[in-house]
Amino acid sequence: MTRRSEIQRETTEVTIRGHLDIDGTGVSDIKTGLGFLDHMLAALAKHGRFDLTLTATGDTEVDDHHTVEDCAIVLGRAFDEALGDRTGIARFGYGYAPLDESLSRAVVDLSGRPWPEVSIDFTRETIGEVSSENIIHFLRSLAIEGRMALHIDLLRGDNDHHKAESAFKALAIALRAAVATDGDSVPSTKGTLT
């Protein structure tokens, strides 16, 4: 089974193109125009072992919101499409990732039912050119569009860069576990995850 998806979205605010391969090796080529977002997506790809190419051209002269949100939308949809009917996946995954003083936990259920719970206490208004609130918005939008229950909690941390990066790395580890192949049936008593 090939678990790949093309990434594409075009609005009056942003144009996004790319490719996701769930069964990759962690290779990425990401150019969103927002350096910190590129850094977070590269970490997600590397530690999830996903191959990801993504190019976004957005109205960053307004602010970062549209580019961040739309990248989450297309990446969530790409995961959903690449997983198909979700037959044979482990479904559940969790991950802990420290980055120096910061420690994050991510737990995911690829249930087909979106539910984001994200608790990261940022103290800075922005990290690089990305607003802290949009980092949380990215994670919530990814969960909704990827049709997954996603819980991310910052367990401790002081440095906002470290907090965000540990959260994305924990998410990568959780997703890698959840998308792992584990048999040939749909992991649900309902018989469907669609």
pLDDT in tens, 5-52: 999 999 999 999 999 999 999 999 999 999 999 999 999 999 999 999
Tens digit of pLDDT for each residue in 120-172? 999 999 999 999 999 999 999 999 999 999 999 999 999 999 999 999 999 99
103 domain-assigned? yes
pLDDT in the model for residue 6:
95
Would you say 94 and 169 are in contact if contact means Cβ atoms under 8 Å apart? no
190 domain-assigned? no
Written as one letter, the residue type at 109 is D
In the predicted model, is pLDDT for residue 188 greater than 80?
A: no
User: Residue 175: which CATH number?
Assistant: 3.30.230.40
Give the domain range for residue 66: 4-179
68 domain-assigned? yes
Tens digit of pLDDT for each residue in 77-91? 999 999 999 988 999
189 domain-assigned? no
pLDDT in the model for residue 183:
74
Number of structural domains, the chain? 1
In the predicted model, is pLDDT for residue 185 greater than 90?
A: no
23 domain-assigned? yes
Tens digit of pLDDT for each residue in 48-78? 999 999 999 999 999 999 999 999 999 999 9
191 domain-assigned? no
The CA angle 105-161-116, to the nearest 5 degrees, is: 40
- The mean pLDDT of the chain is 95
188 domain-assigned? no
